[in-house]
């Protein structure tokens, strides 16, 4: 019976200690430095276990078998008892080793926390040893929240560590698992904060290496030497307003409570649990936009400590020039960094704080193509950019594209400010440029000659179009050029039967069968002329690119984000879709049919793209002040529109308004001289009197000719002006001058529309009702786009009577494409 009792005790002891044996998965492997799951709560528990084991080993070892006892034991598995003693001795040795490792780790963690707490004056808050959201017992070493963002920190006190070939090595071992664990923790924290409105990638996984210098980016994880930690945090400048920091803290306090609740009681001197000053006693964050600067340091007289080892590539500081504060970043350096950060262009609110609905969209998993739509200014592009950043941060190859050539550089510049560490992983390019490159990379000949192709059309028009029924329809010949480009080639139609049956989404002028037949003949003639000259037009390039992409889906990109999708042709979208196919998180189309500024249209069904169950409408306008939005909405209120697969949307849409107020100045002038002088006077007044920077103003008009004229006029009047064609998102102090088309996707504090009452252009004598109606609807949409570019104020010129003075181009020329 005794043996049975003893055996039972052995089993229960084993059971009791099994989970504390290093290597047991519940303890997260053999590393006991802080950062493993369950540590330091787990480590503390282990200290207890160790004490029990020690006591047990002592008891077991003292059992000197007497002769009687020996006899009993011989009969009762003496081998088993010895094995048990051996096992406990091994366990004890292992526990002692682990404890030493943990103590070193805890020291490192405590030092790092102390450094961070020292930044409290600059608005940084530290939450050490918090629960990993979604787990019961696992911890996160430190959460840090401050003006520079939110950080999930894992501290490692490793002796042999280096970054080599883009990998983290601990001795000869690849430490990928540590990085993965940290990104998992970060994802859990992101999820919690996205519900409050923090864009997911604002949370930075930060691995801090105790006693090291240098910084490396390993995919999403920033690896920073402890000695450069403060510098790296301060360098991020102001990303979160003090109020947002407080909101984030409140969320984290709730979702990631301190671990002491879950942990076995710990010695307060050992564990850095509550180093953050209590909420009540903390000084409130500074009200100014920039964090307060620390006092300039007194010159240090202390002899410099030895230089810290560098992480990799980054040199250790030269001997003799050592950190002054606790061997860390010197106060001199910190001062300089804070000054630099304060001088940098501030991050805009939307770059770091979104509406919770936007934030959730950023990280939503899509099982196939997805769509975001919504009226002007509802934050669609903002979500698209955050999404690009999110996907790039997790390692995806991302393309952000649209039809508008100038939008790419602008979006790139925005993303570079939002996330300099990820911008180079995202490609920003126009659809046309991408298609040409795609063909060239795959050896296809691309004689893309828009000018020659355009000439072919006019030749064909002269030969077969003009004399046909099309010449007597009461529309401009350009209407038929667009019919071929967007309806026939834009859909990749190959036979007249297809065209004869087509619904012609986006074109409202009805065509009789005779007209359709004549259009087809014009198209065939054009094609003969074009192929005889061996050139491709835009439609050909997109078609070829689409077919090639279908053979190579997934080769180049994991994710494609298309902005202003309503302006593409059907084949254009098919090309982009083919780059990624229907893969998870692959295609995201963003746009608004009410802002479609080119003729034509198509449905998602025609393009073969299904977004069923993955489409979201945004309905809160963040850009325009109320007066501007109301003014712009009136222009299109009476025009219903198609929005890809959604037909017949009402022009007057319900949109929530985020920014009240705003100004719309309608200015009546009689003739060009008066118009120019009124506009110039207002620009100067806005700049000198009301403090609007020239670089935040735009003058928008309908044609390239008018743009050139206005640019000349402003320059002559001494006002700096730059064409939107040259704008790449870089801040400059020049008024942007561009067409309504070029202004797509952009916004400016104050916008000038000099010839508002000349657009839509008046009906021509020969123009049919149907043709005029279709053109006027399109031009009103263009005007709506221009008006909704204004954030705070609008200057609208009403020139009367028509004919007074010389036109500066409005109403003439063809719109740019
Ligand atoms: N959550 C937000 N908080 C504050 N401002 C925001 C937010 N989201 C967007 N904005 C602001 O609104 C402006 C318009 O956003 P965005 O360009 O993404 O809208 P959009 O729907 O793409 O507009 P459009 O269709 O007119 O081009 C942005 O420049 C940004 O200043």
368-426, pLDDT tens digit by residue?
Answer: 999 999 999 999 999 999 999 999 988 899 999 999 888 999 999 999 988 888 899 99
Nearest CA to ligand 1 atom 27: 745
41 pLDDT above the threshold of 60: no
Using CA atoms, how far apart are residues 659 and 303, in angstroms rounded to an integer? 57
- Tell me the torsion sign for CA atoms 267, 270, 273, 279: positive
Task: Quickly count: other Cβ atoms within 10 Å of residue 459's Cβ.
Answer: 16
Find the mean pLDDT for residues 179-202.
91
Can you say which residues are annotated as belonging to the binding site for ATP?
Answer: 374-381
pLDDT range class, residue 63, cuts 50, 70, 90:
low
b/e map of 760-794 (b: 16 or more CB within 10 Å)?
beeeeeebeeebbebbbbbbbbbbbbbbbbbbbbb
* Ligand 1 geometric centre to CA of 383 (Å): 8
Task: Quickly count: other Cβ atoms within 10 Å of residue 473's Cβ.
Answer: 21
Using CA atoms, how far apart are residues 400 and 588, in angstroms rounded to an integer? 10
Find the mean pLDDT for residues 797-816.
50
For strands 161-164 and 149-156, give the pairing: unpaired
Q: Pick the atom of ligand 1 nearest to 590's CA.
A: 22
Nearest CA to ligand 1 atom 15: 379
Q: Determine the 3-state secondary structure of 669 from DSSP.
A: strand
Using CA atoms, how far apart are residues 720 and 698, in angstroms rounded to an integer? 11
pLDDT the model gives residue 527: 97
Nearest CA to ligand 1 atom 1: 354
Query: Which long-range contacts (C-beta less than 8 Å, at least 24 apart) are formed by 504-507?
Result: 505/601, 505/602, 505/603, 505/606, 505/642, 505/647, 506/596, 506/599, 506/600, 506/601, 506/602, 506/642, 507/483, 507/599, 507/600, 507/601, 507/774
Using CA atoms, how far apart are residues 97 and 629, in angstroms rounded to an integer? 68
Give pLDDT tens digits for 687-731: 999 999 999 999 999 999 999 999 999 999 999 999 999 988 888
Helix or strand holding residue 67 (H, E): helix 67-74
Report domain 361-445+555-656's class.
Answer: alpha beta
Q: Determine the 3-state secondary structure of 209 from DSSP.
A: strand
Using CA atoms, how far apart are residues 87 and 53, in angstroms rounded to an integer? 11
Helix or strand holding residue 72 (H, E): helix 67-74
User: Which residue from 464, 569, 473 is spatially nearest to 520, judged by alpha carbons?
Assistant: 464
Nearest CA to ligand 1 atom 5: 350
Nearest CA to ligand 1 atom 26: 376
* Ligand 1 geometric centre to CA of 585 (Å): 22
pLDDT the model gives residue 257: 94
Q: State both tokens at 309.
A: 């080892």
Using CA atoms, how far apart are residues 655 and 592, in angstroms rounded to an integer? 13
Nearest CA to ligand 1 atom 7: 350
pLDDT range class, residue 236, cuts 50, 70, 90:
confident
Q: State both tokens at 773.
A: 């109606």
Q: Which fold has domain 662-799?
A: Rossmann fold (3.40.50)
Task: Quickly count: other Cβ atoms within 10 Å of residue 559's Cβ.
Answer: 25
* Ligand 1 geometric centre to CA of 401 (Å): 17
Find the mean pLDDT for residues 515-535.
96
**Residue showing tokens 């999930």:** 152
pLDDT range class, residue 279, cuts 50, 70, 90:
very low
Domain edges within the chain? 2-103, 118-159+176-260, 361-445+555-656, 450-535, 662-799
Highest mean pLDDT pick, 249-263, 317-331, 642-656, 766-780: 766-780
Q: Are 684 and 690 in contact, with CB atoms under 8 Å apart?
A: no
Using CA atoms, how far apart are residues 589 and 415, in angstroms rounded to an integer? 18
User: Which residue from 470, 398, 462 is spatially nearest to 428, judged by alpha carbons?
Assistant: 398
Q: State both tokens at 195.
A: 């519900």
Candidate from 351, 381, 386, 729 with most ligand 1 atoms within 8 A of CB, to mutate? 381
Nearest CA to ligand 1 atom 4: 350
Q: For residue 299, report the phi and psi dihedrals to the nearest 5 degrees.
A: -60, 135
Q: Pick the atom of ligand 1 nearest to 353's CA.
A: 1
User: Which residue from 379, 400, 401 is spatially nearest to 388, judged by alpha carbons?
Assistant: 400
User: Which residue from 535, 540, 521 is spatially nearest to 456, judged by alpha carbons?
Assistant: 535
pLDDT the model gives residue 10: 41
Candidate from 198, 623, 641, 751 with most ligand 1 atoms within 8 A of CB, to mutate? 623
Listed range (649-663, 665-679, 753-767, 793-807) with the worst mean pLDDT:
793-807
Residue-by-residue DSSP string for 361-420: HHH---SS-EEEEESTTSSHHHHHHHHHHHHHHTT--EEEEES-TTHHHHHHHHHHHH-T
572 pLDDT above the threshold of 90: yes
CATH architecture of the domain with range 118-159+176-260: 3-Layer(aba) Sandwich (3.40)
Q: Pick the atom of ligand 1 nearest to 622's CA.
A: 12
Listed range (55-64, 143-152, 267-276, 663-672) with the worst mean pLDDT:
267-276
pLDDT the model gives residue 73: 55
Listed range (51-65, 94-108, 423-437, 593-607) with the worst mean pLDDT:
51-65
Q: State both tokens at 586.
A: 């692959």
**ipTM beyond cut 0.95:** yes
Using CA atoms, how far apart are residues 740 and 815, in angstroms rounded to an integer? 9
User: Which residue from 322, 306, 309, 305 is spatially nearest to 213, judged by alpha carbons?
Assistant: 309
How much of the chain, in percent, has pLDDT values that exceed 70?
76
303 pLDDT above the threshold of 60: no
Ligand 1 lining (C-beta closer than 6 Å) = 348-350, 354-355, 358, 374, 376-382, 592, 595, 622-623, 745, 747, 788
Task: Quickly count: other Cβ atoms within 10 Å of residue 390's Cβ.
Answer: 24
Q: Pick the atom of ligand 1 nearest to 563's CA.
A: 22
User: Which residue from 601, 688, 603 is spatially nearest to 646, judged by alpha carbons?
Assistant: 603
Higher pLDDT, 674 or 299: 674
pLDDT the model gives residue 332: 64
555 pLDDT above the threshold of 60: yes
pLDDT the model gives residue 59: 58
pTM: 0.74
Find the mean pLDDT for residues 87-113.
71
Mean pLDDT of the chain: 81
The reply to whether 361-445+555-656 and 662-799 are identical in fold is yes
815 pLDDT above the threshold of 70: no
Candidate from 379, 414, 566 with most ligand 1 atoms within 8 A of CB, to mutate? 379
Find the mean pLDDT for residues 326-337.
58
């Amino acid at each position: 019976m005794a043996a049975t009792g003893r055996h039972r005790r052995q089993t229960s002891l084993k059971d009791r200690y099994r989970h504390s044996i290093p290597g047991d998965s519940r303890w997260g492997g053999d590393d006991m430095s802080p950062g493993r799951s369950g540590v330091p709560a787990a480590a503390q528990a282990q200290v207890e276990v160790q004490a029990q084991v020690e006591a047990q080993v002592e008891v077991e070892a003292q059992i000197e078998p007497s002769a009687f006892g020996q006899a009993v034991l011989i009969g009762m598995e003496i081998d088993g008892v010895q094995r048990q003693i051996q096992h406990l001795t091994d366990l004890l040795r292992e526990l002692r080793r682990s404890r030493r490792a943990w103590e070193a780790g805890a020291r490192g963690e405590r030092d790092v926390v102390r450094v961070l707490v020292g930044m409290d004056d600059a608005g940084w808050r530290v939450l050490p040893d918090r629960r990993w959201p979604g787990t019961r017992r696992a911890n996160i070493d430190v959460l840090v929240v401050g003006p520079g963002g939110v950080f999930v920190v894992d501290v490692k006190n490793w002796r042999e560590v280096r970054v080599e070939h883009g990998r983290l090595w601990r001795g000869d071992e690849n430490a990928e698992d540590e990085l993965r664990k940290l990104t998992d923790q970060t994802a859990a924290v992101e999820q919690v904060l996205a519900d409050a409105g923090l864009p997911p990638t604002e949370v930075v996984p930060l691995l801090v290496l105790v006693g090291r210098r240098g910084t490396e980016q390993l995919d999403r994880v920033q690896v920073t030497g402890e000695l450069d930690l403060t510098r790296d945090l301060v360098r991020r400048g102001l990303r979160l307003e003090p109020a947002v920091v407080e909101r984030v803290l409140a969320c984290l306090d709730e979702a990631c409570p301190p671990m002491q609740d879950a942990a076995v009681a710990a010695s307060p001197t050992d564990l850095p649990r509550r180093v953050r000053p209590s909420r009540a006693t903390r000084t409130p964050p500074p009200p100014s936009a920039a964090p307060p600067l620390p006092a300039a340091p007194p010159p240090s007289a202390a002899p410099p400590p030895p230089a810290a080892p560098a992480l990799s590539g980054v040199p250790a500081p030269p001997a003799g020039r050592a950190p002054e504060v606790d061997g860390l970043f010197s106060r001199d350096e910190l001062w300089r960094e804070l000054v630099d950060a304060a001088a940098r262009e501030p991050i805009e609110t939307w770059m770091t704080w979104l509406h919770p609905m936007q934030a959730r969209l950023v990280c939503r998993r899509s099982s196939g193509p997805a769509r975001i739509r919504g009226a002007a200014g509802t934050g669609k592009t903002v979500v698209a950019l955050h999404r690009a950043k999110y996907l790039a941060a997790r390692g995806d190859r991302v393309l952000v594209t649209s039809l508008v050539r100038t939008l790419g550089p602008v979006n790139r510049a925005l993303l570079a400010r939002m996330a300099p560490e990820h911008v180079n992983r995202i490609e920003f390019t126009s659809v046309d440029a991408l298609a040409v490159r795609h063909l060239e990379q795959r050896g296809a000949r691309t004689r893309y000659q828009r000018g020659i192709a355009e000439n072919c059309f006019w030749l064909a028009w002269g030969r077969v179009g003009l004399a046909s029924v099309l010449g007597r329809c009461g529309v401009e010949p350009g209407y038929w050029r667009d019919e071929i480009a967007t309806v026939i080639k834009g859909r990749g139609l190959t036979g007249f039967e297809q065209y004869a049956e087509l619904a012609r989404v986006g074109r409202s002028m009805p065509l009789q069968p005779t007209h359709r037949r004549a259009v087809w003949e014009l198209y065939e003639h054009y094609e003969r002329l074009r192929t005889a000259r061996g050139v491709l037009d835009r439609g050909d390039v997109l078609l070829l690119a689409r077919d090639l992409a279908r053979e190579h889906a997934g080769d180049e990109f994991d994710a494609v984000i298309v902005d202003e999708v309503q302006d593409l042709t059907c084949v254009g979208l098919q090309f982009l879709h083919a780059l990624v196919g229907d893969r998870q998180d692959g295609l995201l189309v963003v746009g608004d049919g009410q802002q479609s500024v080119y003729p034509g249209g198509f449905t998602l069904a025609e393009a073969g793209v299904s977004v069923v169950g993955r489409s979201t409408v945004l309905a809160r306008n963040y850009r325009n002040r109320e007066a501007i939005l109301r003014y712009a909405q009136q222009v299109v209120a009476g025009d219903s529109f198609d929005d890809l697969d959604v037909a017949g949307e009402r022009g007057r849409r319900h949109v929530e308004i985020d920014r009240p107020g705003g100004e719309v100045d309608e200015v009546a002038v009689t003739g060009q001289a008066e118009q120019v002088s009124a506009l110039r006077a207002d620009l100067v007044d806005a700049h000198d009197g009301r403090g609007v920077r020239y670089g935040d103003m735009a003058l928008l008009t309908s044609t390239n000719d008018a743009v050139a004229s206005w640019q000349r006029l402003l320059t002559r009047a001494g006002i700096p002006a730059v064409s939107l064609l040259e704008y790449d998102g870089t801040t400059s102090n020049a008024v942007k001058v561009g067409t309504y088309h070029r202004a797509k996707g952009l916004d400016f504090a104050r916008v000038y529309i000099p010839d508002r009452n000349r657009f839509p252009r008046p009906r021509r004598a020969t123009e049919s009702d149907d043709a005029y109606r279709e053109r006027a609807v399109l031009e009103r949409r263009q005007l709506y786009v221009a008006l909704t570019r204004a954030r705070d104020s609008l200057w609208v010129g009403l020139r009367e009577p028509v004919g007074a003075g010389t036109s500066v181009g409005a109403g003439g020329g063809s719109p740019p494409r």
